[in-house]
Structure 1
Amino acid sequence: MDTVTRRKFLQMSGATSAAALLSGVTQVTWDELIASSQAAPRITGDKVLVLITLYGGNDGLTTIAPYEDPTYKSLRQNLALNASEVFPIGQGLGINAAMTSFKDLWLANRIAVISGVGYPKPNRSHFTSMDIWQTGSPEEPITSGWIGRWLDSLGHDPLRALGIGSVPPPVVVGLKSAASVLPLTKTTKTSALSSATANALAKENIKDSALRKLAARGLSDLLTSSAALGDALAASPSSAVETANTIDGGSAGGQGSLDVQLDLVSRLIRSGLSTRVYATSLGGFDTHADEKGTQTTLLSRLATAVGKFTTSLKGTVHDKDVVIMIHSEFGRRVLANASYGTDHGTSGPVFLIGSSVKGGHHGEHPDLNKLNNGDLGVTVDFRSIYAEVAENVLGVESSRLLKGSFGKLDLFS
């Protein structure tokens, strides 16, 4: 099985940025960076979006199960969840019981569950479909992420968006701007540059060539973001940083454990960092074989990390400003294959979490009696969710980021 990872997707997409490239060759210690720059705090009331991308194609019917539907049991056979394996959310649907913290969020009315999310003419390629989700453009290929276009529309600020990993995912890469990146690696190497030298190189000179100016801006961005992030990294348990690339990494997916990623994001938010968008990920969802056990483990891991994150913000001034969005590139086929897994499908669920979210089930769950060549129907265009996130979290008219008009779901209070 060719497990799809975040790293592989980024390699295939060719996503990178000047800041990311420079951070790989500029050997500056955190202590030097902290001494070089100081970031401005985020204004209270400015919303923060935390993206969690599930790489591989999450099976929606094992995540949000129509467990009371006899057709579900008939089609899914051994993969079907029964009443003891879900917690009910109404309409005959239940969230996988492995997602314990999601039950608490549901009862607190802090999670929106959107079923049947996808786009017209679904594509079964991991890379093409994820590219569509990240650019927000199913009709034609474009070279900017939908949040990257938001970054392009604003003044240059290397701290406005942050990708946890070695390169930013395409969703936060625009034509002119891109998220800064924070690799989860130890930062104790001896510096090859002094603070004075680093700062001197980071200053643009009117006589510089265009390439030198680009390099100077990239290094300046690196100094700014690194200084702001240094305190949070220093506050993280050393064991967490050391193991970040071994837990859930490699064949399992994302850049380090989602638990570690979200712990760091929480620390940065609570420190008052001005960042408005954080991109995190969890991989391993390409469940072509032995799905039930793998899916249970992954969903439990997702929910545990999200639960710790939301608990860490509870009672702080930041809690009301944070919104989490969770999605995958597609769902899975309805029928199981011969290996007790499922193959690439079409629509799947999206989750929004936060105190400003209208909790409950939104959209129409696909009808299992009306399949499209064995696939679930698409009942919600993913861009309708993006449009509401753009306007209610990023504070921008959705028409500036997305082409077209989409049905309104009323996801925010």
Structure 2
Amino acid sequence: MLDPDISTSDALRHLSVSDGTDAFALDRRRFLQMVGLGVGAGMVAGPGTSLLDVALPGLDPSAWAAGPIGPEEGILVVIGLFGGNDGLNTVVPINDGLYHDQHGALAIPGSATLRLDANSGLNPELTEFKRLWDAGQLAIVEGVGHLQDEFSHFSSMAKWMSGKPTGIPTSGWLGRWTDRYLNGSKDLFASAEIGHSIPLHMIGERSIATTVPTNKPDFGVPREWRSAADLALFQTVRDLASSAPASSWLGRVGQAQVDQLDVAAALNPVIPDDDQLSGTEIVAKLDIAARLVNANLGMRVLTVGWGDFDSHAGQPSQHTSRMRELNEAVRTFYQRLDPAWGNRVTLMTFSEFGRTPYANDGQGTDHGSSAPQFVFGAAVKGGFHGQRPSLSGLQRWDRIPSHVDMRDYYASVIDGWMGGGSSEIFGGTRQDLGLFRRGPTGEIAFPPTSALGQFVGMRPER
């Protein structure tokens, strides 16, 4: 039994496939982690799906399972605000006296907010969100929760990540979408988490996402060790991998080596050197996400996350910093994104819960329930969606009521942007919140194989 007061970081650790620390338990998954690329690639790829095939002369490039996205396929970027974001100080009910009474000194004056309408203002740090709102490209979904609140980071994260408010989760909602999208095929690049472990929402019943680090992949060996013989070495690795049965320990570890080299070969031209990435963790992650979209490797889902939003004390400075980081990350994403992809990308947020309407005695708030979430992109139907919860009648430890089931929130994105299938993913018909004006459209303005061309015929450094 986990402690109901488990921390944000420990909850994430339990709900992710994390870095292995036991050197004597070298399974395929941990091997990928140890070589520095992360878990996922070896679990998804099978024989004949190697990206290194296109980099080695004489091998068949048709074996590359990933590829450019289709002309009507959308890309989804999901941002996790881990720890529980204070929704009232993110989308501020500027004319609600109860908000000012209950939040007390934490309440943001209406005059300091970025005005959305007569009754609402954005946190003053969210200037990029205000730009998107003014352009009609920001949807604010109010009152979102999972309706089974237990106020534990672990249990609530598990519900949000799995997309299942009850039962023990064995897969995540985006993982099940990937299962349906791949339909039994193998693809290293269908979905990816920017980081070093795979969270539950990216683990399917038959597939698992790839991890992409924010540091530049080094083909499995330090850069200074490379020589003209590296291609021969890589071929030797491939030969060793194919010499053992695929189901054997040697075959699994060998294929993991091949997969690691394959992903590194594709990502090395895309990810910049470390000194070219600036800003906080989430800024770097969304910078990498935009670069991966531009590269057109076939990625349909990219996820990022950071925290800590768990503001039990010192919330004025802590929450302000998180809002500033989020705003800078989104601005960096759009600055990095090639304009040709503007009609093909949607971003969305989630957080395992909101905060209490009443401030506590430590200049903070405690674990709450529902909160507003953001969906933004060129195809989004801008404006307010869902229902703003009332603060009327709430006592000291009461939570804000939820009006929008998180599954309806997710399903509206899946059906409105990702091609449908929410009833299969969530086991029943869900309400469409009408978050999109249209689906993905627009031809990409550069050749769809541009990323592939960066490393076809590649030679090692001399």
Query: Deviation per CA, 1:7-50, whole angstroms, max 9, x where unpaired?
Result: x334222525977523223479xxx9694586532334321110
- From 325, 330, 335, the equivalent of 2:358 is 335
Contact 2:282–2:304, Cα closer than 8 Å, also in 1 = yes
- From 204, 207, 224, the equivalent of 1:177 is 207
Query: Deviation per CA, 1:104-142, whole angstroms, max 9, x where unpaired?
Result: 000001110011100122121111111110100012122
Please state if 1:111 is matched with 2:149: no
- From 345, 349, 371, the equivalent of 1:326 is 349
Partner amino acid, structure 2, of 1:337? N
Range 10-19 or range 178-187, more displaced: 10-19
Measure the CA separation in 2 of the matches of 1:307 and 1:209. Answer: 45
- From 80, 83, 86, the equivalent of 1:53 is 80
Partner amino acid, structure 1, of 2:400? L
The 3-state SS of whatever aligns with 1:58 is: coil
Cα distance change of structure 1 residues 388 and 220 upon mapping to structure 2, 3 Å threshold: farther
Measure the CA separation in 2 of the matches of 1:122 and 1:219. Answer: 42
Measure the CA separation in 1 of the matches of 2:399 and 2:273. Answer: 45
Range 196-205 or range 371-380, more displaced: 196-205
Contact 1:72–1:80, Cα closer than 8 Å, also in 2 = yes
Cα distance change of structure 1 residues 271 and 76 upon mapping to structure 2, 3 Å threshold: same
TM-score normalised over the length of structure 1: 0.87
1:405 corresponds in structure 2 to 429
Partner amino acid, structure 1, of 2:138? I
Partner amino acid, structure 2, of 1:9? A
Cα distance change of structure 1 residues 139 and 209 upon mapping to structure 2, 3 Å threshold: closer
Q: CA deviation at 1:2?
A: 7.9
Partner amino acid, structure 1, of 2:267? L
1:173-252 alignment, distance < 5 Å: 173-185=203-215, 187-188=217-218, 189-190=221-222, 194-203=233-242, 207-233=245-271, 236-240=272-276, 248=280
Measure the CA separation in 1 of the matches of 2:143 and 2:269. Answer: 41
Please state if 1:349 is matched with 2:372: yes
Range 287-296 or range 80-89, more displaced: 80-89
Query: Deviation per CA, 1:160-192, whole angstroms, max 9, x where unpaired?
Result: 001111111111111221001112335454379
Identity of matched residues, %? 32
- From 3, 8, 15, the equivalent of 1:4 is 8
Please state if 1:13 is matched with 2:35: no
2:447 corresponds in structure 1 to none
Partner amino acid, structure 2, of 1:385? Y
The 3-state SS of whatever aligns with 1:90 is: coil
The 3-state SS of whatever aligns with 1:320 is: coil
Measure the CA separation in 1 of the matches of 2:103 and 2:332. Answer: 32
The 3-state SS of whatever aligns with 1:112 is: strand
Partner amino acid, structure 2, of 1:198? V
Cα distance change of structure 1 residues 374 and 10 upon mapping to structure 2, 3 Å threshold: closer
Cα distance change of structure 1 residues 87 and 27 upon mapping to structure 2, 3 Å threshold: closer
Contact 1:56–1:126, Cα closer than 8 Å, also in 2 = yes
The 3-state SS of whatever aligns with 1:350 is: strand
Please state if 1:64 is matched with 2:68: no
Return 5+ residue gaps in structure 1 as ranges. Answer: 249-256
2:70 corresponds in structure 1 to 43
Cα distance change of structure 1 residues 61 and 27 upon mapping to structure 2, 3 Å threshold: closer
Cα distance change of structure 1 residues 175 and 72 upon mapping to structure 2, 3 Å threshold: same
Partner amino acid, structure 2, of 1:352? V
Runs of 4+ more than 3 Å apart: 16-20, 25-28, 32-39, 185-189, 201-205, 207-221, 370-373
Cα distance change of structure 1 residues 180 and 405 upon mapping to structure 2, 3 Å threshold: same
Q: CA deviation at 1:204?
A: 7.7
Measure the CA separation in 2 of the matches of 1:109 and 1:264. Answer: 26
Please state if 1:101 is matched with 2:128: yes
Measure the CA separation in 2 of the matches of 1:21 and 1:327. Answer: 28
Measure the CA separation in 2 of the matches of 1:202 and 1:389. Answer: 40
2:303 corresponds in structure 1 to 279
2:389 corresponds in structure 1 to 366
TM-score normalised over the length of structure 2: 0.78
2:449 corresponds in structure 1 to none
Q: CA deviation at 1:53?
A: 0.2
Measure the CA separation in 2 of the matches of 1:138 and 1:219. Answer: 38
Measure the CA separation in 2 of the matches of 1:161 and 1:365. Answer: 33
Measure the CA separation in 2 of the matches of 1:85 and 1:411. Answer: 28
Q: CA deviation at 1:3?
A: 5.8
Q: CA deviation at 1:88?
A: 2.1
Range 212-221 or range 329-338, more displaced: 212-221
Contact 1:285–1:295, Cα closer than 8 Å, also in 2 = yes
2:32 corresponds in structure 1 to 23
The 3-state SS of whatever aligns with 1:77 is: helix
Measure the CA separation in 1 of the matches of 2:341 and 2:135. Answer: 18
Measure the CA separation in 2 of the matches of 1:27 and 1:407. Answer: 42
Range 178-187 or range 8-17, more displaced: 8-17
Partner amino acid, structure 1, of 2:159? I
